[in-house]
Amino acid sequence: MREGQKSKKGIFISLEGIEGTGKTTQARLLSERLVEKGYEVMLTQEPGGTVIGNRIREILLHVDHREMSYMTEFLLYNAARAQHLSEKILPALNQGKVVITDRFTDSTIAYQGYGRGIDIELLKSIDLIATGGIRPDLTILFDLDVETGLQRNKGINKVDRLELEEIEFHKKVREGYLKIAEAEPDRIKTVDASLPLKDVSEKVWEIVRWRLGI
């Protein structure tokens, strides 16, 4: 366990889901609502969140990097996460901020574990090295059928290396997320992302208010 974790004062929230669920928009809306209520918020994303993390993100998502092995991909996500935690997430939590991250470890379990087929126990052991066992206090999973999600992203011309995967890959990722959520019902709350944007944001707000006790 890392030093920082012991003195952690803030609240750590992660948002998860397959492509096109609208979680990035929801992250922004949630952040704005919390700021209105007087919370200090740090909104961030994975892979990324730091200069080094963004460089790793470019390598990971570049459409030309099709030859990347699954193990390289997996280790790079972990490398970006280790940097993100030490440089941004832990300092913000130690300052008492609410940290909202668009993706965290559950993405690796869903995409590299259930999607790519890397052994889940192996993923967890490397995660322990990268994160020191730090978990979000609350995770919101935006669930949506794969076809709708990919269609939504096409609509906004968003294409990266993982989005170019076969539909079967994305279906495995979605199923993986649902299994992860089922195994940890206290931490992970699932929201139906097929609802209108406003209804989704109301559900997110209800969950966060409940978790913060406000």
User: E strands within the chain?
Assistant: 11-17, 41-45, 98-102, 138-143, 188-192
Which lies closer to ligand TMP via its Cβ, residue 68 or residue 162?
162
Which lies closer to ligand TMP via its Cβ, residue 160 or residue 212?
160
Query: CA 86, 91, 96 angle in degrees (round to 5)?
Result: 145
Which lies closer to ligand TMP via its Cβ, residue 78 or residue 201?
78
Which lies closer to ligand TMP via its Cβ, residue 92 or residue 123?
123
Q: How far apart are CA 196 and CA 89, in angstroms?
A: 31
Distance in Å, CB of 45 to ligand TMP, minimum:
6
From candidates 46, 98, 114, 203, binder to ligand TMP by CB under 6 A:
46
Binding of ligand TMP by 142 (CB under 6 A):
no
Binding of ligand TMP by 111 (CB under 6 A):
yes
Which lies closer to ligand TMP via its Cβ, residue 50 or residue 112?
112
Angle between helices 23-36 and 197-212 (to 10 degrees): 50
From candidates 47, 49, 53, 149, binder to ligand TMP by CB under 6 A:
47
For residues 40 and 97, the answer to whether their CB atoms sit within 8 Å is yes
Tell me which residue has its CB nearest to ligand TMP. 111
Binding of ligand TMP by 162 (CB under 6 A):
yes
Which lies closer to ligand TMP via its Cβ, residue 10 or residue 47?
47
Binding of ligand TMP by 53 (CB under 6 A):
no
For residues 44 and 88, the answer to whether their CB atoms sit within 8 Å is yes
Q: Distance of CA 113 to CAs 102, 187, 189, Å? A: 19, 19, 20
Which residue type, as a one-letter code, is found at position 133? G
Distance in Å, CB of 6 to ligand TMP, minimum:
25
Q: CA 60, 66, 69, 71 torsion: positive or negative? A: positive
Contact residues toward ligand TMP (CB under 6 A) are 19, 45-47, 61, 77, 103, 107-108, 111-112, 162-163
